[in-house]
Amino acid sequence: MKIIKTGLAVTVALATLLGFDSCKPKNAASAVSGDAAAKAYVAPGKYDEFYNFVSGGFSGQLAVYGLPSGRLFRTIPIYSQDPESGWGYSEETKPMLNTSHGYIPWDDSHHAELSQTNGEIDGRWIFVNGNNTPRVARVNLSTFRTDEILEVPNSAGNHSSPFITSNTEYVVAGTRFSIPMDNANGDVPINTYKQNFKGTVSFISVDKTTGNMKIAFQILLPGIDFDLAHAGKGPSEGWFFFSCYNSEQANTLLEVNASQKDKDFILAVNWKKAEEYLAQGKAQKVTTKYAHNIYSEKTHSATSTIETEVNMLDAKSLEGMCYFIPCPKSPHGCDVDPTGEYIVGSGKLAALIPVFSFQKLQTAINNKDFEGNYGGIPVVKYQSALYGEVPKPGLGPLHTEFDGKGNAYTSFFVSSEIVKWNVKDLKVLDRAPTYYSIGHLCVPGGDSKKPNAKYVIAYNKITKDRYLPTGPELTQSAQLFDISGDKMQLILDFPTVGEPHYAQACPADLIKKNSVKFFKIEDNANTYVSKGEGETKVVRTGKRVDVYMTVIRSHITPDNIEGIKVDDEVYFHVTNLEQDWDIPHGFAIKGNNNGELLVMPGETQSVKWLPAKTGIYPMYCTDFCSALHQEMQGYVRVSAAGSNVPLLFSTGKNLPPADSTAK
C-alpha cells in the first residue's frame, strides 16, 4: 500500500506577501498569503492566544506550545528521565519513575486530556498516558509539573487513555495488548491467546480537590486490543466508549491476521451501572502490584507506594454494563460530539465514517436488538445503533474533533487530509491536504462540550521535504489551520518534539492566571532544606555525607568542602534561596555519574554523588544567573578512604586548619 502522499507543496507567494509593491485587492492570492503570515505571527513581547499541549509520543513527555505561533515553551518531563532538569536523577524525583517492575527511565506518552468541569476545560490538570508500561500521569497546570503517576495493573499497552468524564470523575485506561491477568500464571504459550489473554478497561477516580487518582474499578473483557476512547456527555453522560481492534484475537503478524474481519467494535460502557455493581459488592478483589507515585510541592519530593489490590468487575456476567457496537474497519478514533448524541467511529482501513446515535443505541439495548454476543457481551446490531455514514470522505479516517457549530473535522492518514463535515446531514463541506500522513488532530476544546473553534491543528507522521533536512532522523510536525471561516486555511507548519499523538488546546487565560512564579522558601518542607546560609552544614553519618547547601546570586554555600572520602555516598541538598521569578540555579560536580540539578526559587533538590578517586572536584551553578554567574563555583576535596582529613566546610574564608599534606 502506498501511503505517503507526495502532493504539491502549498506555495505561498512570499515575494508579494504584503502588497508593498502595489496595492493589491483584498481577494488577490497575495492578500490571502499575506493573511496567513499575519495570522501566525505573534510579535515580540506579545502573548500567544492558546496553549497547545502535545503528547511527546516516544519522548515520554508533554510539550507545551503557543498558538498561533507554534513556539515550544516547555517540555514537561513525565515518564522519561530529563537530564536537563534532573527529573529522574534527583533523589526527590526518582520515585516518580518507580513501577512494579522497578525504576523505568522511559515511556511512550500518547494522549493528553485536560481536566473538565461540566464538560468544559477548567485549566487545572492535564492527564497523560504511558503506553509501554501502563501508567497514567497527572500534570499540575499551576506549576507545569507532574504531580502524580499511577501504574495500571492487568494491562499492557495503555493506549485508550487518559480520556475523562465531564466532571473529571474518572480517567480511563484500556489494554491495547491483551495479556494473562496479573494473578494468573502468565507463563503460558503465546498461542493460547484465546484462552488465556484478557483485556481490561480501568476507571480511575480523581479527587475533586487534590486531583489524586485511585483505581476505582477495572472491567474484565475479552482479549482484544482497546485503542481509543471518549466519554459520553449530555444525554450520554454516564457512558464511555472505547474503540477496539483485533477481534480476530490474533497473536502474530497482526498486520494480516487482525485485519481479517470487516468490522471490529466500539465498546460502550455504562459506568454508572458499573458504580452500582461496585456498590453492591459485585467486584472481585484481585491481587496484583502497581506503583502509585505522588509529588508534593510542600516537600518538593515524591513518594512511591506499591498498591496490591484492585476491584474487578466481570463484563460478561454483569448485565447492562457493557455492549459492543460493530464498527468498520480496524477502528481507531472514538469521538463524541459536543451535544453527546453522536459517537463517531474511525476505521483506519475504512473508506467511510460511521456515526452512531446514542438515542438509537439506547433503544436497541432496551429492545435487545442484538446480533449475538462476543465473549459473552451483547453485540448491538450495526444498523440499529447507526445514525448514518459519511460516504467516501477519504481513506483511513483516524480521529475526529468538533467545532461546536455542528461540524466535525476528521483526520485521514492514508489520504493525508483533514475533512470537514456536518454532523447532522453527514455532508462533506471542505477538505484540506496535510503534509504528510496526519494522525490525530486538535481543535481547542474540540472534545469538550464547548469547543473554541478558531483553529484545527494537524499532527503529522511524515515531514520529509517540509523542513531543512537533518540527516536520517527528521522532526515530526504540526500544521495550523484557521477554521474561523467556512473553508480551512493553512497558515503554519511547525515542528514538534517527540512524536505528537493526541493533543489538547485551550485559551491562555484559563491557565496563565494560575501559574506559580516561585515557591515560598518559608513553606519549603523538604527534609534537607536550608532556609538561609546560616543553616547550611555538612553532616557525616558513617559513609553517608549530607551537604545542606544554598545557592543565591552569585555564590554557593558552602563552596569549599573537605573531609569527603572515596567510597562515601554524598548527597548535595541544594536550596535555591531566590524569591523571584525566572531565577533558577543549577548544580553539578565534575565526574559525577548522574544528572545535574535545576532548582527553582524556593525549592530544594538533591543529587547523589559517589566519589571514586581522590582529588579536587569543582562544582558550579549550571544556569546563567547573573553577571557573576561564572564566579559561582566551589571545590570539594576527596581524600582516600582511610584518610583523617577532617570534615570542614566554609564560604568566603579559607578553611582552618590548612593542613599541608594529604593523608
Please say which residue, 279 or 658, places its beta carbon nearer to a copy of itself: 658
Placement of cell 455493581 in the chain: 277
- Between CA 179 and CA 200 the distance in angstroms is 9
- Between CA 455 and CA 481 the distance in angstroms is 6
Q: Considering the complex, what minimum distance in angstroms separates the CB of residue 468 from a copy of itself?
A: 5
Please answer whether residues 19 and 37 qualify as being in contact, where contact means their C-beta atoms are separated by less than 8 angstroms: no
Residue 45 contacts a copy of itself per CB under 8 A:
yes
Placement of cell 532544606 in the chain: 529
Please say which residue, 99 or 448, places its beta carbon nearer to a copy of itself: 99
Q: Considering the complex, what minimum distance in angstroms separates the CB of residue 205 from a copy of itself?
A: 25
- When binding is defined by CB under 8 A, the residue of 276, 518, 531, 647 that contacts a copy of itself is 518
Residue 663 contacts a copy of itself per CB under 8 A:
yes
376-to-173, 195, 320, 342 alpha-carbon distances in Å? 21, 14, 12, 26
Residue 660 contacts a copy of itself per CB under 8 A:
yes
Please say which residue, 321 or 552, places its beta carbon nearer to a copy of itself: 552
- Between CA 394 and CA 391 the distance in angstroms is 9
Q: Which grid cell sits at 353?
A: 465514517
- When binding is defined by CB under 8 A, the residue of 351, 428, 429, 508 that contacts a copy of itself is 508
Residue 626 contacts a copy of itself per CB under 8 A:
yes
Q: Which grid cell sits at 125?
A: 490538570
Q: Which grid cell sits at 216?
A: 476505582
Locate all alpha helices (DSSP H) within 93-217, ordered by sequence.
Answer: 193-196
Residue 91 contacts a copy of itself per CB under 8 A:
no
Q: Which grid cell sits at 227?
A: 485503542
Contacts of 323 (CB under 8 A, 6+ apart): 267, 268, 361, 365, 377, 378, 379, 380
Between strands 569-576 and 544-552, the pairing is parallel
Q: Considering the complex, what minimum distance in angstroms separates the CB of residue 338 from a copy of itself?
A: 26
Q: Considering the complex, what minimum distance in angstroms separates the CB of residue 282 from a copy of itself?
A: 28
Residue 278 contacts a copy of itself per CB under 8 A:
no
- Between CA 490 and CA 36 the distance in angstroms is 7
**Binding letters toward a copy of itself, positions 346-375, x by CB under 8 A:** --xx--------------------------
Residue 177 contacts a copy of itself per CB under 8 A:
yes
Site for a copy of itself in 442-471 (CB under 8 A): 461-464, 466-471
Placement of cell 494522549 in the chain: 111
Closest alpha carbon to 1 in 461, 414, 463, 393: 414
| CA 55 to centroid of chain Cα atoms | 5
- When binding is defined by CB under 8 A, the residue of 306, 539, 641, 662 that contacts a copy of itself is 662
- When binding is defined by CB under 8 A, the residue of 71, 214, 298, 405 that contacts a copy of itself is 71
- When binding is defined by CB under 8 A, the residue of 55, 68, 85, 353 that contacts a copy of itself is 85
Choose the binding region for a copy of itself from 208-216, 231-239, 420-428, 554-562 (rule: CB under 8 A).
554-562
Helix (H, G, I), strand (E, B) or coil at 413: coil
Please answer whether residues 329 and 349 qualify as being in contact, where contact means their C-beta atoms are separated by less than 8 angstroms: yes
Placement of cell 516561585 in the chain: 518
- When binding is defined by CB under 8 A, the residue of 117, 192, 260, 287 that contacts a copy of itself is 192
Q: Which grid cell sits at 159?
A: 493506549
Contacts of 514 (CB under 8 A, 6+ apart): 123, 141, 142
Residue 532 contacts a copy of itself per CB under 8 A:
no
Site for a copy of itself in 319-348 (CB under 8 A): 330, 332, 348
Residue 541 contacts a copy of itself per CB under 8 A:
no
**Binding letters toward a copy of itself, positions 388-417, x by CB under 8 A:** --------x----------------xx---
**Binding letters toward a copy of itself, positions 215-254, x by CB under 8 A:** ----------x-x-----------------xx----xxxx
Choose the binding region for a copy of itself from 166-174, 261-269, 418-426, 631-639 (rule: CB under 8 A).
631-639
Choose the binding region for a copy of itself from 172-180, 271-279, 366-374, 526-534 (rule: CB under 8 A).
172-180
Full DSSP string of 467-487: S--BTB---EEEEEEE-SSSS
Residue 105 contacts a copy of itself per CB under 8 A:
yes
In the chain, the N- to C-terminal Cα span, in Å, equals: 73
Please answer whether residues 561 and 538 qualify as being in contact, where contact means their C-beta atoms are separated by less than 8 angstroms: yes
Contacts of 279 (CB under 8 A, 6+ apart): none
Residue 165 contacts a copy of itself per CB under 8 A:
no
CA atoms within 13 A on the CB side of 352: 13
DSSP-assigned beta bridge partners for residue 202 = 173, 218
Size of interface with a copy of itself, in residues (CB under 8 A): 195
In terms of Cβ atoms closer than 10 Å to its own Cβ (0-12, 13-18, 19+), residue 554 is middle
DSSP-assigned beta bridge partners for residue 420 = 409, 430
Helix (H, G, I), strand (E, B) or coil at 15: helix
Residue 516 contacts a copy of itself per CB under 8 A:
yes
Q: Considering the complex, what minimum distance in angstroms separates the CB of residue 169 from a copy of itself?
A: 26
Residue 601 contacts a copy of itself per CB under 8 A:
yes
Residue 279 contacts a copy of itself per CB under 8 A:
no
Residue 27 contacts a copy of itself per CB under 8 A:
no
Closest alpha carbon to 598 in 590, 582, 587: 587
Please say which residue, 245 or 402, places its beta carbon nearer to a copy of itself: 245
Residue 652 contacts a copy of itself per CB under 8 A:
yes
Please answer whether residues 57 and 499 qualify as being in contact, where contact means their C-beta atoms are separated by less than 8 angstroms: yes
- Between CA 535 and CA 423 the distance in angstroms is 65
- Between CA 570 and CA 587 the distance in angstroms is 14
Site for a copy of itself in 120-159 (CB under 8 A): 132-133, 142-145, 156-157, 159
Please say which residue, 289 or 450, places its beta carbon nearer to a copy of itself: 289
Q: Considering the complex, what minimum distance in angstroms separates the CB of residue 170 from a copy of itself?
A: 24
Please say which residue, 296 or 633, places its beta carbon nearer to a copy of itself: 633
- When binding is defined by CB under 8 A, the residue of 90, 99, 166, 202 that contacts a copy of itself is 99
Please say which residue, 157 or 238, places its beta carbon nearer to a copy of itself: 157
- When binding is defined by CB under 8 A, the residue of 118, 210, 257, 527 that contacts a copy of itself is 257
Site for a copy of itself in 556-585 (CB under 8 A): 559-560, 562, 581-582, 584
Choose the binding region for a copy of itself from 119-127, 229-237, 474-482, 534-542 (rule: CB under 8 A).
474-482
Site for a copy of itself in 284-323 (CB under 8 A): none
